[in-house]
C-alpha cells in the first residue's frame, strides 16, 4: 500500500504521471454513458491495445452491450519509487472490477504484444479458456517495435513525405492556449520504412496467422484494425505522411489476409474511425488545433470513442448492416468528414489566430480531455488528498476452483486474468 499526494506533471501535451482514482473514474463514467443492452451473443474477443483510446472504448462497449468474453492485451508500466503506474494500468484495474461486478469472463494480460512469446502465451490462454476467437480487434499504438524475426528495433516518426510541412498548431505552454507555427522536415526513406514496420499491418498479420495456425479462428471470424483518414487540412502530416503510409500498409494487409489466411465467411477489415482526443493523436502536430476547431463546429455532436465503438460492434455482430466503402473499409467517420462540417472547420483554419479566438471553448475542451486521459481534472475527484498509488494488475477469479495465474511472456511482468 502506498498513499501519495500526487500533482500533475505536465509540459505542453506531455503528462508524465497519472492519478489512480481519476483514471479509474474515467472508466466508470464511460461505462455509465454506454447504453446498457445485450443481445445475448457473448462472442469471444481478443483486443490488442485494450487500455486506452478506441481499444478501451471497444472493450467497455463490447462488455456492456454484447457480453463479450475473452482477453485484452496491453503493455503498461507499474508504479515505481519516482512515478505512479501508467493511467492504462489503473484503467485496466477499473475495467476488471466492472467485469467482476457484472459476472463477466474477460482476462487481462500485460505484455509486449509484438513479441512471439506474448502471442504464444495469449493463445495458450485462448485455447485453454475459450476455444476459438470470434473477433480480433487490433488497436495497438506504440513508438517502437522489435521485429521478432530479426530482432531489429524499429522506431516510428511523425513526419511528412517528400517535402517539408508547415502549419499552425495549438500551444499550451503558457497560461492561455495560443497558436504557434510548426515546420517538419520530410522523413528519410529509412524513417518511413521504420514507421510502416511499427504502425502498419505486419504485427496484425502475425497475430491472425498465429491464431489460424492453432485452429483458433471461429467459422465466422472477423478481425478489425483501427485506422484514420481525417481532413485534407491535416493530410500532409497524417494521411500523406509517414503515418499515412503505415495506415495504407494496414489497409493493404486486410486485403492480403482476406486473400490468403481467411476463408469462407472469415473477414479482415480496417475501420476508419473519426477524430478523438487520445494519447496517440495528441502527439501529432496540428491535430490538437484541428480537433479543437472540430469541437467548436460540432459541440456535443462530436462522436465519442464509445459511440463509435457502439457503431462498430453493431456492424460486426450483425445488429446493423455492415457498411463499407469502395476499398472495403468500415467507415465510422462520416460525421467528421461531412462537407458542411469541413467547410466550417476550414474557415477557422484559414485564419487560425482568429479561429482560436472563436474556439477558446474548443481548445479548453481539448486540454481537459487530454488531462482526463491521465485521470486529472475530473469533477468530484479530490486531488488535494493522498491517493493509493499501489494497485495490483487484475488477478482472475478461478473459473473451476484452480489457480489460473500465469507468468508473463519472459518480461518479468505479471500477465494475469481480469
DSSP class of residue 91 equals H
Nearest to 257 by CA among 205, 331, 186, 199: 205
- Measured CA to CA in angstroms, residue 126 lies from 49, 116, 130, 238, 298 at distances of 16, 15, 5, 35, 41
Query: What does the alpha-carbon distance between residue 135 and residue 220 come to, in Å, rounded to a whole number?
Result: 9
Nearest to 109 by CA among 59, 47, 43: 47
Query: What does the alpha-carbon distance between residue 112 and residue 232 come to, in Å, rounded to a whole number?
Result: 34
- Measured CA to CA in angstroms, residue 308 lies from 62, 140, 167, 238, 371 at distances of 12, 17, 29, 21, 21
The CA-CA-CA angle for residues 55, 61, 67, to 5°, reads: 115
Query: What does the alpha-carbon distance between residue 160 and residue 144 come to, in Å, rounded to a whole number?
Result: 18
Q: What three-state secondary structure class fits 146? A: strand
- Measured CA to CA in angstroms, residue 40 lies from 43, 171, 238, 311 at distances of 9, 47, 39, 17
Catalytic residues: 238
> Which ranges of 102-201 would DSSP assign to H, the alpha helix?
116-129, 189-199
Query: What does the alpha-carbon distance between residue 81 and residue 59 come to, in Å, rounded to a whole number?
Result: 31
φ, ψ for residue 287, nearest 5 deg = -65, -35
Q: What three-state secondary structure class fits 89? A: helix
Instruction: Say what the pLDDT of residue 281 is.
Output: 78
Instruction: Say what the pLDDT of residue 396 is.
Output: 66
Dig out the grid coordinates for 383 from the structure. Answer: 486531488
DSSP class of residue 282 equals G
pLDDT tens, position by position, for the chain (418 residues)?
A: 689 899 888 876 788 899 999 999 999 999 999 999 877 789 999 999 999 999 999 999 999 999 999 999 999 999 998 899 999 999 999 999 999 999 999 999 999 999 999 999 999 999 999 999 999 999 999 999 999 999 999 999 999 999 999 999 998 888 788 999 999 999 999 999 999 999 999 999 999 999 999 999 999 999 999 999 999 999 999 999 999 999 999 999 999 999 999 989 999 999 999 999 987 777 788 999 999 999 999 999 999 999 999 999 999 999 999 989 999 999 999 999 999 999 999 999 999 999 999 999 999 999 999 999 999 999 999 999 999 999 999 976 666 544 443 333 333 333 333 3
Place of cell 466508470: 28
Query: What does the alpha-carbon distance between residue 226 and residue 333 come to, in Å, rounded to a whole number?
Result: 12
Place of cell 455532436: 301
Query: What does the alpha-carbon distance between residue 286 and residue 234 come to, in Å, rounded to a whole number?
Result: 7
pTM comes to 0.93
- SS3 of the chain: helix, strand, coil, percent, to 5: 40, 20, 40
| Residues with Cβ within 8 Å of residue 213, at least 6 apart in sequence | none
Domains of the chain and any CATH numbers: 17-148+195-284+302-335+375-388 (3.40.50.720)
Query: What does the alpha-carbon distance between residue 272 and residue 125 come to, in Å, rounded to a whole number?
Result: 30
Q: With beta carbons less than 8 A apart as the criterion, state whether 316 and 133 touch.
A: no
Instruction: Say what the pLDDT of residue 407 is.
Output: 33
Instruction: Say what the pLDDT of residue 414 is.
Output: 33
Helix axes 189-199, 242-259, angle to 10 degrees: 50
Dig out the grid coordinates for 261 from the structure. Answer: 489466411
Report DSSP letters for 28-81, one per residue.
HHHHHHSPP---S---EEEEES-SSHHHHHHHHHHHHHH--EEEEEE--PPP-S
Amino acid at each position: 500500500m502506498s498513499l501519495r499526494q500526487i500533482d500533475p506533471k505536465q509540459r505542453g501535451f506531455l503528462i508524465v504521471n497519472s492519478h489512480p482514482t481519476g483514471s479509474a473514474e474515467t472508466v466508470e463514467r464511460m461505462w455509465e454513458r454506454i447504453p446498457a443492452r445485450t443481445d445475448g451473443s457473448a462472442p469471444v474477443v481478443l483486443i490488442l491495445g485494450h487500455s486506452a483510446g478506441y481499444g478501451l472504448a471497444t472493450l467497455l462497449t463490447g462488455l456492456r452491450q454484447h457480453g463479450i468474453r475473452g482477453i485484452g492485451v496491453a503493455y503498461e508500466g507499474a508504479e515505481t519509487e519516482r512515478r505512479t503506474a501508467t493511467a492504462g494500468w489503473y484503467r485496466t484495474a477499473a475495467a476488471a472490477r466492472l467485469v467482476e461486478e457484472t459476472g463477466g469472463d474477460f482476462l487481462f494480460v500485460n505484455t509486449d504484444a509484438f513479441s512471439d512469446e506474448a502471442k504464444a502465451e495469449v493463445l495458450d490462454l485462448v485455447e485453454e479458456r475459450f476455444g476459438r476467437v470470434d473477433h480480433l480487434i487490433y488497436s495497438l499504438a506504440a513508438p517502437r517495435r522489435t521485429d521478432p524475426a530479426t530482432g531489429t528495433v524499429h522506431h516510428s516518426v511523425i513526419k511528412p513525405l517528400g517535402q517539408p510541412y508547415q502549419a499552425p498548431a495549438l500551444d499550451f505552454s503558457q497560461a492561455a492556449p495560443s497558436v504557434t507555427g510548426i515546420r517538419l522536415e520530410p522523413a528519410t526513406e529509412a524513417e518511413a520504412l521504420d514507421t510502416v514496420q511499427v504502425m502498419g499491418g505486419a504485427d496484425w498479420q502475425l497475430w491472425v496467422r498465429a491464431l489460424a495456425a492453432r485452429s483458433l479462428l471461429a467459422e465466422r471470424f472477423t478481425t478489425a484494425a483501427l485506422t484514420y483518414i481525417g481532413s485534407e487540412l491535416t493530410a500532409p502530416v497524417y494521411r500523406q505522411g509517414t503515418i499515412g503510409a503505415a495506415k495504407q500498409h494496414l489497409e493493404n494487409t486486410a486485403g492480403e489476409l482476406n486473400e490468403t489466411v481467411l476463408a469462407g465467411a472469415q473477414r479482415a477489415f480496417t475501420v476508419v474511425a473519426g477524430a478523438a482526443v487520445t494519447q496517440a493523436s495528441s502527439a501529432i502536430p496540428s491535430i490538437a488545433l484541428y480537433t479543437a476547431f472540430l469541437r467548436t463546429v460540432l459541440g456535443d455532436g462530436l462522436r465519442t470513442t464509445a459511440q463509435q465503438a457502439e457503431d462498430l460492434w453493431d456492424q460486426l455482430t450483425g445488429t446493423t448492416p455492415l457498411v463499407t466503402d469502395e476499398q472495403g473499409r468500415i467507415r465510422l467517420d462520416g460525421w467528421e468528414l461531412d462537407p458542411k462540417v469541413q467547410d466550417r472547420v476550414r474557415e477557422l483554419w484559414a485564419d487560425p489566430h482568429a479561429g482560436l479566438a472563436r474556439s477558446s471553448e474548443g481548445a479548453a475542451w481539448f486540454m481537459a480531455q487530454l488531462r482526463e486521459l491521465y485521470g486529472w481534472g475530473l469533477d468530484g475527484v479530490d486531488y488535494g488528498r493522498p491517493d493509493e498509488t499501489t494497485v495490483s494488475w487484475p488477478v482472475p477469479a478461478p473459473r473451476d476452483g484452480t489457480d489460473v495465474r500465469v507468468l508473463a511472456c519472459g518480461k518479468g511482468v505479471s500477465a494475469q486474468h481480469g
